[in-house]
Structure 1
Amino acid sequence: MKTALITGASRGIGRAVADALAADHHLLIGGRDADAVAQVAASLPSAEPFVVELTDDDAVAAAVAGIGTLDVLVHSAGVGPLGTIAETDPETWRQALEANLIAPANLTRLLLPALRTAHGHVVFVNSGAGFTARAGWGAYAASKFGLRALADSLRAEQAGVVKVTSVHPGRTATDMQRAVRAHEGAAYDPEEFLSPAAVAATVRLALDAPANASIDTLSIRPV
Protein backbone atom coordinates (compact mmCIF):
# COMPACT_ATOMS: atom_id res chain seq x y z
CA MET A 1 0.00 0.00 0.00
CA LYS A 2 1.32 3.44 -0.92
CA THR A 3 1.81 6.11 1.74
CA ALA A 4 0.60 9.70 1.34
CA LEU A 5 1.18 12.71 3.56
CA ILE A 6 -1.49 15.40 3.23
CA THR A 7 -1.09 18.77 4.89
CA GLY A 8 -4.17 20.68 5.97
CA ALA A 9 -6.05 17.39 6.03
CA SER A 10 -8.36 18.02 8.97
CA ARG A 11 -10.85 20.01 6.87
CA GLY A 12 -11.66 21.48 3.47
CA ILE A 13 -9.76 20.35 0.40
CA GLY A 14 -7.15 18.47 2.41
CA ARG A 15 -9.82 16.39 4.14
CA ALA A 16 -11.46 15.67 0.78
CA VAL A 17 -8.10 14.53 -0.62
CA ALA A 18 -7.73 12.18 2.34
CA ASP A 19 -11.14 10.69 1.58
CA ALA A 20 -10.23 10.32 -2.10
CA LEU A 21 -7.01 8.43 -1.31
CA ALA A 22 -8.19 6.42 1.68
CA ALA A 23 -9.17 3.24 -0.17
CA ASP A 24 -5.65 2.41 -1.35
CA HIS A 25 -3.21 4.58 0.64
CA HIS A 26 -1.89 4.68 4.15
CA LEU A 27 -2.38 8.31 5.12
CA LEU A 28 -0.44 10.72 7.27
CA ILE A 29 -3.06 13.28 8.26
CA GLY A 30 -1.40 16.67 8.61
CA GLY A 31 -2.71 19.53 10.72
CA ARG A 32 -2.14 21.72 13.77
CA ASP A 33 -5.23 20.80 15.78
CA ALA A 34 -4.38 17.45 17.40
CA ASP A 35 -7.99 16.61 18.24
CA ALA A 36 -9.29 17.35 14.74
CA VAL A 37 -6.44 15.43 13.13
CA ALA A 38 -6.98 12.43 15.39
CA GLN A 39 -10.69 12.43 14.58
CA VAL A 40 -10.03 12.37 10.83
CA ALA A 41 -7.36 9.67 11.16
CA ALA A 42 -9.69 7.48 13.22
CA SER A 43 -12.40 7.71 10.55
CA LEU A 44 -10.20 6.32 7.75
CA PRO A 45 -9.18 2.71 7.01
CA SER A 46 -5.42 3.25 7.36
CA ALA A 47 -4.26 6.58 8.75
CA GLU A 48 -2.22 8.22 11.47
CA PRO A 49 -1.82 11.78 12.73
CA PHE A 50 0.93 14.10 11.52
CA VAL A 51 0.49 16.99 13.91
CA VAL A 52 2.96 19.83 13.41
CA GLU A 53 3.11 23.59 12.93
CA LEU A 54 4.50 23.76 9.41
CA THR A 55 6.16 27.15 9.96
CA ASP A 56 8.21 25.77 12.88
CA ASP A 57 11.35 24.50 11.15
CA ASP A 58 12.65 22.45 14.08
CA ALA A 59 9.27 20.82 14.72
CA VAL A 60 8.89 19.89 11.06
CA ALA A 61 12.38 18.37 10.93
CA ALA A 62 11.57 16.26 13.99
CA ALA A 63 8.18 15.19 12.60
CA VAL A 64 9.62 13.85 9.32
CA ALA A 65 12.73 12.24 10.81
CA GLY A 66 11.29 8.72 10.76
CA ILE A 67 9.86 8.82 7.23
CA GLY A 68 12.16 6.73 5.05
CA THR A 69 9.97 6.38 2.00
CA LEU A 70 6.96 8.38 0.80
CA ASP A 71 4.87 7.87 -2.32
CA VAL A 72 2.72 11.00 -2.26
CA LEU A 73 3.02 14.45 -0.70
CA VAL A 74 0.00 16.72 -1.05
CA HIS A 75 0.39 20.34 0.05
CA SER A 76 -3.07 21.60 0.97
CA ALA A 77 -2.45 23.75 4.05
CA GLY A 78 -2.41 27.50 3.62
CA VAL A 79 -3.79 30.88 4.59
CA GLY A 80 -5.78 33.43 2.59
CA PRO A 81 -5.04 37.00 3.69
CA LEU A 82 -6.90 39.69 1.76
CA GLY A 83 -6.38 43.42 1.52
CA THR A 84 -5.00 46.10 -0.73
CA ILE A 85 -1.28 46.72 -0.93
CA ALA A 86 -1.83 50.00 0.90
CA GLU A 87 -3.41 48.29 3.90
CA THR A 88 -1.30 45.10 4.05
CA ASP A 89 1.40 45.38 6.70
CA PRO A 90 4.74 43.51 6.64
CA GLU A 91 3.59 40.92 9.16
CA THR A 92 0.69 39.89 6.91
CA TRP A 93 3.09 39.52 4.00
CA ARG A 94 5.39 37.38 6.14
CA GLN A 95 2.52 35.17 7.32
CA ALA A 96 1.30 34.61 3.75
CA LEU A 97 4.74 33.75 2.41
CA GLU A 98 5.67 31.60 5.42
CA ALA A 99 2.52 29.50 5.31
CA ASN A 100 1.87 29.32 1.56
CA LEU A 101 5.39 29.18 0.13
CA ILE A 102 8.24 28.72 2.60
CA ALA A 103 6.57 25.96 4.62
CA PRO A 104 5.78 23.82 1.54
CA ALA A 105 9.31 24.39 0.21
CA ASN A 106 10.87 23.32 3.49
CA LEU A 107 8.65 20.27 3.98
CA THR A 108 9.36 19.16 0.42
CA ARG A 109 13.10 19.65 0.93
CA LEU A 110 13.09 17.50 4.04
CA LEU A 111 11.02 14.75 2.42
CA LEU A 112 12.86 14.65 -0.92
CA PRO A 113 15.05 11.67 0.07
CA ALA A 114 11.92 9.67 0.98
CA LEU A 115 10.13 10.77 -2.19
CA ARG A 116 13.10 9.93 -4.37
CA THR A 117 13.35 6.47 -2.80
CA ALA A 118 9.73 5.79 -3.72
CA HIS A 119 9.82 7.61 -7.10
CA GLY A 120 7.00 9.57 -5.55
CA HIS A 121 4.69 12.40 -6.50
CA VAL A 122 4.32 15.90 -5.04
CA VAL A 123 1.03 17.76 -5.53
CA PHE A 124 0.75 21.45 -4.73
CA VAL A 125 -2.85 22.59 -4.25
CA ASN A 126 -2.43 26.10 -5.58
CA SER A 127 -5.19 28.50 -6.71
CA GLY A 128 -6.47 30.49 -9.62
CA ALA A 129 -4.60 33.28 -7.85
CA GLY A 130 -1.42 31.46 -8.83
CA PHE A 131 -2.07 32.71 -12.38
CA THR A 132 -3.93 36.00 -11.92
CA ALA A 133 -3.46 38.69 -9.27
CA ARG A 134 -6.57 40.75 -8.59
CA ALA A 135 -7.02 43.94 -6.62
CA GLY A 136 -7.06 43.19 -2.92
CA TRP A 137 -5.32 39.85 -3.31
CA GLY A 138 -1.68 40.96 -3.47
CA ALA A 139 -0.12 38.98 -0.61
CA TYR A 140 -2.13 35.83 -1.33
CA ALA A 141 -1.47 35.94 -5.08
CA ALA A 142 2.24 36.62 -4.56
CA SER A 143 2.51 33.53 -2.36
CA LYS A 144 0.65 31.43 -4.93
CA PHE A 145 2.68 32.72 -7.89
CA GLY A 146 5.72 31.75 -5.84
CA LEU A 147 4.26 28.32 -5.14
CA ARG A 148 3.82 27.77 -8.89
CA ALA A 149 7.46 28.73 -9.44
CA LEU A 150 8.51 26.34 -6.67
CA ALA A 151 6.63 23.51 -8.38
CA ASP A 152 8.13 24.31 -11.78
CA SER A 153 11.68 24.38 -10.40
CA LEU A 154 11.18 21.19 -8.42
CA ARG A 155 9.77 19.43 -11.49
CA ALA A 156 12.82 20.38 -13.54
CA GLU A 157 15.24 19.34 -10.81
CA GLN A 158 13.58 15.98 -10.12
CA ALA A 159 12.65 15.03 -13.70
CA GLY A 160 12.46 11.28 -14.13
CA VAL A 161 12.56 10.66 -10.37
CA VAL A 162 9.74 12.56 -8.63
CA LYS A 163 6.58 13.78 -10.37
CA VAL A 164 5.31 17.27 -9.55
CA THR A 165 1.81 18.57 -10.20
CA SER A 166 0.23 21.97 -9.55
CA VAL A 167 -3.56 21.94 -9.12
CA HIS A 168 -5.23 25.35 -9.48
CA PRO A 169 -8.82 25.34 -8.21
CA GLY A 170 -11.20 28.20 -8.66
CA ARG A 171 -13.36 29.29 -5.75
CA THR A 172 -14.11 26.29 -3.55
CA ALA A 173 -16.68 25.82 -0.79
CA THR A 174 -14.39 25.91 2.26
CA ASP A 175 -14.04 27.93 5.46
CA MET A 176 -11.52 30.11 3.64
CA GLN A 177 -14.09 30.92 0.98
CA ARG A 178 -16.63 31.78 3.66
CA ALA A 179 -14.12 34.31 5.04
CA VAL A 180 -13.46 35.69 1.56
CA ARG A 181 -17.15 36.29 0.96
CA ALA A 182 -17.46 38.02 4.32
CA HIS A 183 -14.52 40.25 3.39
CA GLU A 184 -16.26 41.07 0.11
CA GLY A 185 -19.51 41.83 1.91
CA ALA A 186 -21.34 39.11 -0.01
CA ALA A 187 -23.41 36.11 1.01
CA TYR A 188 -21.79 32.67 1.13
CA ASP A 189 -23.63 30.02 -0.89
CA PRO A 190 -21.59 26.80 -1.25
CA GLU A 191 -23.63 25.84 -4.31
CA GLU A 192 -21.92 28.67 -6.23
CA PHE A 193 -18.48 27.13 -5.77
CA LEU A 194 -16.52 23.97 -6.42
CA SER A 195 -16.90 21.25 -3.86
CA PRO A 196 -13.74 20.12 -2.04
CA ALA A 197 -14.49 16.63 -3.40
CA ALA A 198 -14.24 17.94 -6.97
CA VAL A 199 -10.79 19.37 -6.26
CA ALA A 200 -9.78 16.11 -4.59
CA ALA A 201 -10.88 14.19 -7.68
CA THR A 202 -8.53 16.38 -9.72
CA VAL A 203 -5.67 15.56 -7.36
CA ARG A 204 -6.54 11.89 -7.73
CA LEU A 205 -6.57 12.23 -11.52
CA ALA A 206 -2.98 13.49 -11.46
CA LEU A 207 -1.86 10.73 -9.11
CA ASP A 208 -3.49 8.04 -11.25
CA ALA A 209 -1.64 9.01 -14.44
CA PRO A 210 0.41 6.15 -15.93
CA ALA A 211 3.92 5.68 -14.59
CA ASN A 212 5.41 6.99 -17.83
CA ALA A 213 3.25 10.14 -17.88
CA SER A 214 3.17 13.27 -15.76
CA ILE A 215 0.36 15.80 -15.43
CA ASP A 216 2.20 19.02 -14.69
CA THR A 217 -0.60 21.54 -14.25
CA LEU A 218 -4.35 21.24 -13.84
CA SER A 219 -6.95 24.01 -13.50
CA ILE A 220 -10.48 23.33 -12.30
CA ARG A 221 -13.35 25.83 -12.20
CA PRO A 222 -16.99 25.81 -11.13
CA VAL A 223 -19.40 25.42 -14.05
Structure 2
Amino acid sequence: MERNVQKVNKGFLAVFVLCLLCTSRLFAQTPSVVRNIRLPLWAELDAYPGLELSSDKDEGQFDFPISQMRKMAPFIVNGMVYGWNFVYVPYDKARGVEEYLEITEIVPADVIRDGITYASPWISNNNLNCWVEYTRTDSQVQSYNLWASIQNPVIAGIGYGSVEKGFEGIEEAARESLKAAIRNHYRKTIKNKPKEITGSVLIRKFPTLGIDSGRYVINLDFFLECGKIIEYSVY
Protein backbone atom coordinates (compact mmCIF):
# COMPACT_ATOMS: atom_id res chain seq x y z
CA MET A 1 0.00 0.00 0.00
CA GLU A 2 1.35 3.38 -0.99
CA ARG A 3 2.41 5.53 1.92
CA ASN A 4 1.91 9.25 2.16
CA VAL A 5 5.40 10.33 3.16
CA GLN A 6 4.14 13.64 4.50
CA LYS A 7 2.08 11.88 7.16
CA VAL A 8 4.71 9.57 8.62
CA ASN A 9 4.14 9.19 12.33
CA LYS A 10 6.72 11.17 14.30
CA GLY A 11 6.97 8.31 16.76
CA PHE A 12 8.33 6.03 14.03
CA LEU A 13 10.94 8.62 13.13
CA ALA A 14 11.96 8.90 16.77
CA VAL A 15 12.45 5.13 16.93
CA PHE A 16 14.40 5.24 13.69
CA VAL A 17 16.65 7.97 15.03
CA LEU A 18 17.30 5.93 18.15
CA CYS A 19 17.93 2.74 16.19
CA LEU A 20 20.48 4.41 13.94
CA LEU A 21 22.23 6.22 16.81
CA CYS A 22 21.80 9.51 15.03
CA THR A 23 23.65 12.55 16.29
CA SER A 24 21.85 15.76 17.15
CA ARG A 25 24.35 18.07 15.47
CA LEU A 26 23.54 19.97 12.30
CA PHE A 27 25.96 19.71 9.38
CA ALA A 28 26.28 21.49 6.07
CA GLN A 29 24.56 19.34 3.45
CA THR A 30 27.69 18.58 1.42
CA PRO A 31 29.57 15.29 1.06
CA SER A 32 33.15 14.94 2.30
CA VAL A 33 35.73 12.18 1.91
CA VAL A 34 39.07 12.98 3.59
CA ARG A 35 39.06 13.46 7.38
CA ASN A 36 35.31 13.38 7.92
CA ILE A 37 33.54 11.06 5.51
CA ARG A 38 29.98 12.25 5.05
CA LEU A 39 27.86 10.87 2.27
CA PRO A 40 24.14 10.57 1.52
CA LEU A 41 22.61 7.11 1.60
CA TRP A 42 19.11 5.86 0.87
CA ALA A 43 17.12 2.65 0.97
CA GLU A 44 13.65 1.86 -0.28
CA LEU A 45 10.94 1.76 2.38
CA ASP A 46 9.47 -1.45 0.98
CA ALA A 47 11.30 -4.67 0.24
CA TYR A 48 11.14 -5.83 -3.37
CA PRO A 49 8.41 -8.49 -3.82
CA GLY A 50 10.05 -11.89 -3.51
CA LEU A 51 12.72 -10.88 -0.99
CA GLU A 52 12.47 -12.78 2.29
CA LEU A 53 11.90 -9.60 4.30
CA SER A 54 9.06 -8.46 2.05
CA SER A 55 6.78 -11.19 3.39
CA ASP A 56 7.62 -10.79 7.08
CA LYS A 57 4.47 -9.43 8.72
CA ASP A 58 6.33 -8.76 11.96
CA GLU A 59 8.65 -6.25 10.31
CA GLY A 60 8.32 -2.66 11.55
CA GLN A 61 7.78 0.21 9.16
CA PHE A 62 11.49 1.10 8.98
CA ASP A 63 13.09 -2.28 9.73
CA PHE A 64 13.78 -3.13 6.10
CA PRO A 65 15.47 0.15 5.02
CA ILE A 66 17.44 0.27 8.29
CA SER A 67 18.74 -3.26 7.73
CA GLN A 68 19.74 -2.34 4.17
CA MET A 69 21.57 0.79 5.33
CA ARG A 70 23.42 -1.14 8.03
CA LYS A 71 24.73 -3.44 5.29
CA MET A 72 25.45 -0.76 2.69
CA ALA A 73 27.24 1.75 4.90
CA PRO A 74 30.07 -0.52 6.18
CA PHE A 75 30.53 -1.95 2.68
CA ILE A 76 30.96 1.48 1.08
CA VAL A 77 32.84 3.18 3.95
CA ASN A 78 35.29 0.28 4.21
CA GLY A 79 35.95 0.64 0.49
CA MET A 80 36.72 4.33 1.11
CA VAL A 81 38.89 3.83 4.22
CA TYR A 82 40.84 0.62 3.54
CA GLY A 83 39.87 -0.45 0.02
CA TRP A 84 39.70 -3.82 -1.71
CA ASN A 85 42.15 -6.26 -3.25
CA PHE A 86 41.18 -7.70 -6.60
CA VAL A 87 42.05 -10.47 -9.04
CA TYR A 88 40.90 -9.79 -12.59
CA VAL A 89 40.93 -12.20 -15.54
CA PRO A 90 40.12 -10.56 -18.91
CA TYR A 91 37.75 -12.19 -21.37
CA ASP A 92 39.64 -14.03 -24.11
CA LYS A 93 37.48 -15.57 -26.82
CA ALA A 94 40.38 -17.30 -28.58
CA ARG A 95 41.39 -19.14 -25.40
CA GLY A 96 37.84 -19.76 -24.20
CA VAL A 97 38.41 -17.69 -21.04
CA GLU A 98 35.47 -15.89 -19.43
CA GLU A 99 35.89 -12.52 -17.74
CA TYR A 100 36.27 -12.89 -13.98
CA LEU A 101 36.69 -10.56 -11.01
CA GLU A 102 37.30 -11.48 -7.38
CA ILE A 103 37.20 -8.80 -4.66
CA THR A 104 38.37 -9.19 -1.07
CA GLU A 105 38.49 -6.68 1.78
CA ILE A 106 41.96 -5.44 2.69
CA VAL A 107 40.71 -4.97 6.26
CA PRO A 108 37.43 -6.52 7.51
CA ALA A 109 34.50 -4.09 7.55
CA ASP A 110 33.86 -4.94 11.22
CA VAL A 111 36.88 -2.77 12.08
CA ILE A 112 35.07 0.41 11.02
CA ARG A 113 31.46 -0.66 11.65
CA ASP A 114 31.18 0.78 15.18
CA GLY A 115 32.63 4.12 14.06
CA ILE A 116 29.82 4.76 11.56
CA THR A 117 26.93 7.04 12.54
CA TYR A 118 23.68 7.77 10.70
CA ALA A 119 22.44 11.37 10.91
CA SER A 120 19.52 13.61 9.89
CA PRO A 121 17.09 11.01 8.47
CA TRP A 122 14.36 12.09 6.08
CA ILE A 123 11.85 10.46 3.76
CA SER A 124 11.34 11.29 0.09
CA ASN A 125 10.10 9.41 -2.98
CA ASN A 126 9.28 6.34 -0.86
CA ASN A 127 12.92 6.14 0.27
CA LEU A 128 14.44 6.47 3.71
CA ASN A 129 17.47 8.79 3.46
CA CYS A 130 20.20 9.77 5.89
CA TRP A 131 23.76 11.04 6.07
CA VAL A 132 26.39 8.40 6.79
CA GLU A 133 29.35 9.74 8.77
CA TYR A 134 32.73 8.33 9.67
CA THR A 135 35.80 10.16 11.01
CA ARG A 136 39.15 8.82 9.85
CA THR A 137 41.95 8.39 12.36
CA ASP A 138 45.27 10.14 11.73
CA SER A 139 46.73 6.94 10.31
CA GLN A 140 43.70 6.49 8.03
CA VAL A 141 44.07 10.07 6.75
CA GLN A 142 47.76 9.41 6.09
CA SER A 143 46.82 6.24 4.23
CA TYR A 144 44.31 8.15 2.09
CA ASN A 145 46.93 10.77 1.22
CA LEU A 146 49.33 8.01 0.14
CA TRP A 147 46.63 6.51 -2.07
CA ALA A 148 45.98 9.97 -3.53
CA SER A 149 49.60 10.41 -4.59
CA ILE A 150 50.30 10.97 -8.27
CA GLN A 151 51.73 7.45 -8.56
CA ASN A 152 48.29 5.87 -8.30
CA PRO A 153 46.08 6.44 -11.37
CA VAL A 154 42.39 7.24 -11.02
CA ILE A 155 39.97 4.81 -12.67
CA ALA A 156 36.18 4.92 -12.87
CA GLY A 157 33.32 2.70 -13.94
CA ILE A 158 29.56 2.26 -13.92
CA GLY A 159 27.97 -0.99 -12.76
CA TYR A 160 24.49 -2.49 -12.58
CA GLY A 161 22.83 -4.94 -10.21
CA SER A 162 19.36 -6.42 -9.83
CA VAL A 163 16.97 -4.53 -7.53
CA GLU A 164 15.32 -7.88 -6.78
CA LYS A 165 18.44 -8.91 -4.83
CA GLY A 166 18.33 -6.02 -2.37
CA PHE A 167 21.75 -5.27 -0.84
CA GLU A 168 23.32 -8.11 -2.84
CA GLY A 169 22.24 -6.23 -5.97
CA ILE A 170 24.20 -3.18 -4.77
CA GLU A 171 27.26 -5.36 -4.14
CA GLU A 172 26.83 -6.77 -7.63
CA ALA A 173 26.65 -3.26 -9.10
CA ALA A 174 29.82 -2.24 -7.21
CA ARG A 175 31.70 -5.28 -8.54
CA GLU A 176 30.55 -4.53 -12.07
CA SER A 177 31.63 -0.90 -11.64
CA LEU A 178 35.12 -1.98 -10.55
CA LYS A 179 35.30 -4.56 -13.34
CA ALA A 180 34.47 -1.89 -15.93
CA ALA A 181 37.02 0.51 -14.41
CA ILE A 182 39.82 -2.09 -14.47
CA ARG A 183 38.94 -3.26 -17.98
CA ASN A 184 38.87 0.26 -19.42
CA HIS A 185 42.13 1.26 -17.75
CA TYR A 186 44.22 -1.73 -18.80
CA ARG A 187 42.88 -1.77 -22.35
CA LYS A 188 44.66 1.56 -22.75
CA THR A 189 47.93 0.47 -21.15
CA ILE A 190 48.41 -3.20 -22.16
CA LYS A 191 48.75 -4.23 -25.80
CA ASN A 192 48.14 -7.98 -25.43
CA LYS A 193 45.52 -9.48 -23.13
CA PRO A 194 47.18 -10.79 -19.97
CA LYS A 195 46.25 -13.99 -18.18
CA GLU A 196 45.59 -12.27 -14.86
CA ILE A 197 45.86 -8.86 -13.21
CA THR A 198 46.06 -8.26 -9.47
CA GLY A 199 45.99 -5.03 -7.52
CA SER A 200 44.18 -2.92 -4.96
CA VAL A 201 41.72 -0.03 -5.14
CA LEU A 202 40.39 2.62 -2.79
CA ILE A 203 37.08 4.38 -3.44
CA ARG A 204 38.17 7.94 -4.21
CA LYS A 205 34.97 9.89 -3.53
CA PHE A 206 31.37 9.31 -2.56
CA PRO A 207 29.50 7.03 -4.97
CA THR A 208 26.33 7.89 -6.85
CA LEU A 209 23.61 5.26 -6.55
CA GLY A 210 20.29 5.12 -8.39
CA ILE A 211 17.80 2.82 -10.09
CA ASP A 212 17.41 2.47 -13.84
CA SER A 213 14.98 0.04 -15.51
CA GLY A 214 14.72 -2.22 -12.47
CA ARG A 215 18.47 -2.25 -11.83
CA TYR A 216 20.67 -0.52 -9.30
CA VAL A 217 23.24 1.64 -11.05
CA ILE A 218 26.35 2.84 -9.22
CA ASN A 219 29.16 5.09 -10.38
CA LEU A 220 32.47 4.65 -8.55
CA ASP A 221 35.86 6.35 -8.82
CA PHE A 222 38.94 4.55 -7.50
CA PHE A 223 42.61 5.09 -6.81
CA LEU A 224 44.41 2.12 -8.36
CA GLU A 225 47.49 0.47 -6.90
CA CYS A 226 48.86 -1.85 -9.55
CA GLY A 227 49.93 -5.33 -8.48
CA LYS A 228 51.07 -8.09 -10.83
CA ILE A 229 50.30 -8.60 -14.50
CA ILE A 230 50.69 -12.25 -15.48
CA GLU A 231 51.11 -12.89 -19.19
CA TYR A 232 50.20 -16.06 -21.04
CA SER A 233 53.14 -18.36 -21.71
CA VAL A 234 54.45 -18.33 -25.27
CA TYR A 235 55.10 -21.76 -26.76
TM-score category of the 2 structures, normalised to the smaller one: under 0.3
Which has more helix, going by share of residues? Answer: 1
More strand by share: 2
Higher relative contact order at CA 8 Å, sep ≥6: structure 1 or structure 2?
A: 2
TM-score (norm 2): 0.23
